[in-house]
């Protein structure tokens, strides 16, 4: 799980703030021992405001 807050200054002389969060999931296999498959997906929805 990821949660972050960013304050940015852009090249166009704008200041922006964003709140983002994400979640990563993966499969865990237990055939002959624990194996972790990290071929999952990472989703980051972002809400931003430019002023």
User: Over 80: is that where the pLDDT of 17 sits?
Assistant: yes
Under DSSP, the state recorded for 11 is: T
When pLDDT is averaged across residues 24-48 and rounded to a whole number, the result is 65
Residue of 42, 7, 5 lying closest to 20 (CA atoms): 5
> Could you tell me the pTM of the whole model?
0.41
Q: How confident is the model at residue 23 (pLDDT cuts 50, 70, 90)?
A: confident
pLDDT given for residue 28 in this prediction: 64
Helix or strand or coil: residue 9?
A: strand
- Domain extent at residue 13: 2-50
Q: What's the domain count of the chain?
A: 1
Contacts of residue 22, Cβ cutoff 8 Å, sequence gap at least 6:
1, 2, 42, 43, 44, 45
């Amino acid at each position: 799980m990821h949660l972050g807050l960013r304050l940015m200054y852009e090249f166009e002389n704008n200041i922006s703030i964003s709140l983002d969060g994400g979640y990563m999931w993966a499969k865990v296999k237990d055939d002959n021992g624990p194996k972790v498959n990290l071929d999952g997906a990472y989703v980051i929805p972002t809400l931003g405001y430019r002023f």
